[in-house]
């Protein structure tokens, strides 16, 4: 695995050099991440999630984001195209009829969608930069037909390894680098820094402790990590912070997971009981907006 990471690092380095021959459509900041500008919306802005398991599994990013918006009197229309376990192009083709119908809809302000969150599969994001770019381009070109000024946020995947794994940091760095390189050529696009926020949480920023009774409260999964309540809460608050540039008022209850078993599901639960340290997670999210 370490040899694989080394080879991958060399390939990515070559790709970085080759990218210097092109002009990016975005203004890249000192850390390589730009901030897209949202279009002026007439009426409630529309937010579209396109992705797979990290967007929705034990908990739902679209649902939690909608709940935060409702609790803070932010009138938004949240939509989603989610297919489990596949890359972005397969998400599109699996939902092609619905996607094409939505992408072709016209709004009087000139943009049907105002914000789009694109979550590529971790495997593609980590190992196949060209496929990562082409999948983002595929979706962006279809959305741009009737939402030319949409603000696109590319989802920075979290590392698909336990935090205790010796290769965790190597995977994190490659995912971050590839996300920056893939995003740079998409019009009016920036990065939703999920991977950075999760790494900060695992490192104990703002006093957060991901372990409780020797159990990871951020993520769970044997081969692919999926967000538990703490991770889902962090993800939703980070998106709210990123779009609105402010901290949300957290409602007393949110729709969260009851567990990881086959008979568990999502239902309204008290945040103070279902989230181990909401205050610390809020601060981590805000610092990564």
Question: Does position 22 have pLDDT exceeding 60, yes or no?
Answer: no
In a domain, 28, yes or no: no
Going by pLDDT thresholds of 50, 70 and 90, the confidence category of residue 31 is low
pLDDT given for residue 208 in this prediction:
98
* 105 or 27, higher pLDDT: 105
**What's the pLDDT tens digit per position in 143-165?**
999 999 999 999 999 999 999 99
User: Which range is most confident: 10-14, 38-42, 106-110, 152-156?
Assistant: 152-156
The whole domain housing 236 covers 43-287
Closest CA to 275 of 55, 56, 64: 64
In a domain, 218, yes or no: yes
In a domain, 27, yes or no: no
* 18 or 242, higher pLDDT: 242
Asked if 186 and 152 count as a contact pair (C-beta separation under 8 A), the reply is yes
Going by pLDDT thresholds of 50, 70 and 90, the confidence category of residue 16 is very low
Asked if 31 and 179 count as a contact pair (C-beta separation under 8 A), the reply is no
Question: Does position 280 have pLDDT exceeding 90, yes or no?
Answer: yes
Average pLDDT of the chain is 89
pTM of the complete model beyond 0.85: yes
Q: Report the relative pairing of strands 189-192 and 151-155 from DSSP bridges.
A: parallel
Question: Does position 26 have pLDDT exceeding 70, yes or no?
Answer: no
d(CA 286, CA 266): 25
Closest CA to 99 of 150, 49, 27: 49
Radius of gyration of the chain (CA): 18
pLDDT given for residue 223 in this prediction:
77
pLDDT given for residue 23 in this prediction:
33
Q: In angstroms, what CA-CA distances link 47 with 64, 85, 150, 172, 218?
A: 13, 22, 10, 27, 25
Going by pLDDT thresholds of 50, 70 and 90, the confidence category of residue 139 is very high
Question: Does position 9 have pLDDT exceeding 50, yes or no?
Answer: no
d(CA 37, CA 252): 32
In a domain, 20, yes or no: no
pLDDT given for residue 262 in this prediction:
87
d(CA 133, CA 22): 14
Q: Which two tokens stand for residue 132?
A: 């990562």
Least confident of 18-27, 72-81, 137-146, 209-218: 18-27
Question: Does position 2 have pLDDT exceeding 80, yes or no?
Answer: no
The CATH number of residue 130's host domain is 3.40.50.1110
In a domain, 5, yes or no: no
In a domain, 2, yes or no: no
In a domain, 246, yes or no: yes
Task: Provide the number of structural domains found in the chain.
Answer: 1
List beta partners, residue 153: 117, 190
In a domain, 90, yes or no: yes
Question: Does position 166 have pLDDT exceeding 50, yes or no?
Answer: yes
Return the ∠ at Cα 117 (arms to 48 and 243), rounded to 5°.
95
């Amino acid at each position: 695995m370490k040899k694989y990471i080394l080879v991958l690092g060399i390939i990515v380095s070559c790709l970085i050099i080759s990218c210097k021959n092109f002009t990016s459509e975005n203004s890249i900041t000192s850390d390589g991440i730009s901030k897209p500008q949202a279009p002026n919306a007439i009426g409630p802005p529309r937010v579209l999630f396109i992705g797979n398991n990290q967007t929705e599994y034990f908990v739902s990013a679209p649902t939690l984001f909608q709940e935060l918006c409702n609790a803070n009197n932010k009138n938004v229309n949240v939509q989603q195209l989610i297919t489990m376990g596949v890359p972005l192009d397969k998400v599109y083709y699996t939902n092609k009829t619905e996607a094409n119908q939505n992408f072709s809809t016209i709004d009087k302000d000139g943009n049907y969608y105002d914000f789009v969150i694109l979550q590529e599969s971790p495997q593609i994001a980590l190992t196949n930069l060209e496929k990562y770019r082409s999948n983002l381009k595929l979706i962006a070109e279809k959305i741009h037909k009737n939402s030319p000024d949409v603000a696109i946020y590319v989802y920075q995947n979290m590392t698909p390894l336990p935090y205790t794994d010796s290769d965790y940091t190597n995977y994190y760095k490659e995912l971050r680098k590839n996300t920056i390189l893939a995003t740079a050529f998409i019009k009016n696009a920036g990065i939703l820094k999920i991977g950075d926020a999760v790494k900060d949480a695992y490192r104990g920023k703002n006093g957060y402790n991901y372990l409780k009774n020797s159990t990871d409260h951020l993520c769970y999964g044997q081969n692919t990590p999926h967000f538990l309540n703490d991770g889902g809460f962090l993800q939703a608050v980070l998106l709210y912070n990123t779009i609105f540039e402010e901290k949300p008022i957290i409602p007393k209850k949110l729709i969260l997971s009851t567990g990881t078993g086959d008979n568990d599901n999502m239902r309204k639960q008290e945040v103070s009981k279902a989230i181990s340290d909401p205050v610390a997670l809020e601060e981590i999210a805000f610092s990564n907006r």
